[in-house]
Structure 1
Amino acid sequence: MQRYFTDYPIQKNVSFLVSGNNFHHLIIVMRSKVGDEAEFVAKNHKVFIGKILATADQQAEILPITELKNSAELPVEVTIACGISKGDKSEYIVQKSTELGACHFVFLPTAFSVAKWPAKKINRKIERLQKVAKSAAEQSHRNYVPTVTYVNSLQELKQLPAAFKIVAYEESAKNGEHTQLHHQIEQMQSNSTVLSLFGPEGGLAPNEVTQLQDAGFTSVGLGPRILRAETAPLYLLTAISVYKEMR
């Protein structure tokens, strides 16, 4: 069943109106009709099955009939921070990491970033990535749409609060380090906050990793293989899911 995020404080048996992009997708793309049902996420992240009562003037009247109690959220709140990569890799990271449970995304320039985001285009880039996150959250039946932001430097990133701060470093993997990630995940409790940083193509510079370690980040290896910039965040999220959701 298709899921839609709304800005309404939805209540059972109290109808509300759907318009804009949600109306277009529900009625035009999905060809839903009066009497059909879909899932709607309220402003407070509660989820309801709603029935279409009527459509008129580019709006659909929805009646919430059942509240769904299940949640598809990871038990820990993970922020994925990434050095800017080339092409559409940022969109891939946001889409797939949203499906795997990430809560926040932060993009930033790093020493080895080949791609650059001109200042006048940053807002447009973030808006596009936010739309990707919303679409992926609907597809994967999340209760939350992840946030997407941009910071100008590693210094700004270091100021972000989190109970666990980790940096994925390929040299750690090359040197056979394989215990720190396991140790970090084991210590995470429900609702723990995690800030994780991944480099762009070419990884992070050694002095950047040193700065992060001095700021309280733990350097971790992601297995014995060297991963692409867009693959590394998925490895971390999958590891957290296996440890915290499937054991």
Structure 2
Amino acid sequence: MLTYVVLAVAGLGAGMLNAIAGGGTFLSFPALVWAGVPPIVANATATFAALPGYASSAWAYRADIAGDSNPSLMQLIAVAVVGGLLGAGLLLVTSEDLFSGVVPWLLLIATVAFAVGPRILRYLTQKGRQASLPTALTIVFGVSVYGGYFNGGLGIMLLAAFGLIGMTNLHHMNGLKNLMSFVLSVVSVATYTAAGLIDWNSLAIVGVSCAIGGYVGATFARRIKNTALLRGFIIAIGFFMAAVFFMQRAG
């Protein structure tokens, strides 16, 4: 019963965080590992649980996504599909022991990206320099591979990539981020499911509670004025979880 409660609370919190500021994987993934789900399966299950939230967010930003961009929307989606497949494929051939060793570093990278991402994004969007098409597609492809392999911190990394290639319209960038997160997750989840990496019992708990949390979070998102405090809380969780996984690995 304690396990069910922890998974439900983690899913609820993850859904709320994703709706308000992002970083929900910092709760759902460690909770699944704590519940005894193997790290690779926990990563796949947490990605599946976040999928409905990505879909609803992408739909909410549909008007902003429709704007022109370079690369084009179809080019970005194509890169997301190929990169997501490659990242998910890399996860399938990664041993459980190797992935367990990589997880603390992935959590640390995702947390640092979440912490410094907004500042870097502001700097990059102020510059407004357009990268060449091959360079832009290469950058987005690299982030897509990461997203197919590990879902944590994907949103902020996509935003940073868009800023790096010269995009400046934050609403358009947020829309693209949500759409590409959805595409990447669909591709990844399909691959994970085919390989039998989804813990369906845990998904039923985390997925439903995550969806409820997303609805609640979206409802109250505009009422929260001190988002900096919330971001600080999420960053603290990320660093704490990374430290816990490092200590477990060392022990």
TM-score past 0.5 threshold: no
TM-score range normalised by the length of the shorter chain: under 0.3
Q: Which has the higher strand share?
A: 1
Normalized against structure 2, the TM-score is what?
A: 0.26
Which has more radius of gyration? 1
Normalized against structure 1, the TM-score is what?
A: 0.27
